[in-house]
Copies of this chain bind each other. A is one copy, B any other.
């Protein structure tokens, strides 16, 4: 059983764009070049071969406009990869549905093999399965190669959520036309950023898809819609509810680490204590490494053992805190932290030494998106967060984006284009058929839709859920609430399909 890779990807934002701000005190240090994401390349490929046998699909390619919204024959086209499975599909004559996962910021095969729920329910719906890849990720590279696509702000300028949605719209329309399946209803799925895309797609393209399951989609994590402290407060609370002393130890550890580093030979000693393969150049690198782990733990705090980036026990935060709290008497804060973090980074005990940053990739797609439209303000509260205190500083953020990508972010664009403010009023009598599912352990749930908006735009909130738990493959250890949540989702989707077919039948007197 594997954890969903999706969570990891959206998490890139936090680890690579925002965490540096949090943990750094020197402005010159807040967006270090070597913090650009490397996770995807490092973690996705080894997992793939194992999964490819689990779900059957064909890999195909679709020729796309690079720029849907401007018209110039000079802009080249690109090949969008998609995965397709037709074997359960009951076909156009039955108005059989098409289940489409909105590919997000990574290799689509990774999402396909990590979205077990969709595969598991497709046969009972007689559904076609489609996983189109998000432009500028995986193999769906414009300009012929990743290198060319990521060359500069001009080539990257087409990497946006709006273009990705338009890709899906054109792709679905053409595919249905080619299959004479215009009448077949499309249901969207997505987790994390993919969930945001699924929800937005339903809102912007109601003629293309009849409904969307948007799992752990923080569509409200923009501007001032939710408090910027929410993310780190949720992570911190997950530690606090296991143990106050664990929370306190972590909260005090940042100063302890800085002090330790400032001692003579301090960085060498720290490197030794933390079993690092290479000697630390700054305590910042160590803090980032710890930050990442805590936040990941908040997301993947599943109630049963998982193996996502790392093999982890069930309730992994409980285990981390047990190690921190139960370190031998007289252990220093630094020792306790090492014992705790080892649960995350070395649960199997196989690791001899840790690499903090072994695969720096340079420019990354999500960082570009975060530097253009996906500006999600994050702060860390002095009192309620166990992370170093930090107030989101938009000027610094902007400056870094200008330096790294020669681009100016548009922090208000997403709410202008997709809304978010006052969403309950806006959508109360507008739109239909969206499920916003969230787990309250997931730090991203703070930016999610947690209340029903209308009869058909509903929120499914799982108190014990982590990052899009519902999209994961089912397991024999699934708790009751998860089994029930998935059953509810299936029932809602069935309702959308029934209602759609009734409308069609009523028209044609079938």
Contacts and interface: CB of A to CB of B under 8 A. Distances in A.
A156 B73 contact: no
A73 B153 contact: yes
A417 interface: yes
B160 A70 contact: yes
A476 interface: no
B372 A71 contact: yes
A427 interface: yes
Given A421-B207, A426-B206, A71 B373 contact: yes
A420 B207 contact: yes
A412 interface: yes
Contacts of A153: 71-74
A325 to B, nearest CB: 44
A427 B70 contact: no
A2 B207 CA distance: 38
Interface stretch (A4-12, A161-169, A233-241, A485-493): A161-169
Contacts of A169: 416-417
B173 A412 contact: yes
A147 to B, nearest CB: 18
Contact of A429 (B160, B170, B420, B456): B456
Interface string A400-423: 000000111010110111111111
A73 B425 contact: no
A20 B242 CA distance: 77
Interface residues of A, number: 63
A245 interface: no
Contacts of A418: 207
A288 to B, nearest CB: 27
A382 interface: no
A187 to B, nearest CB: 15
Interface string A200-227: 0001111110000000000000000000
A406 B75 CA distance: 12
Contacts of A204: 204
A206 B427 contact: yes
Nearest to A69: B69
Given A70-B160, A70-B163, A432 B430 contact: yes
Interface stretch (A36-44, A110-118, A499-507): A499-507
A67 interface: yes
A428 interface: yes
B432 A154 contact: no
Interface string A427-439: 1111111000000
Interface of A: 65, 67-75, 153-154, 156-160, 162-163, 166, 169-170, 173, 182, 203-208, 372-373, 406-408, 410, 412-413, 415-433, 456, 499-500, 503-504, 507
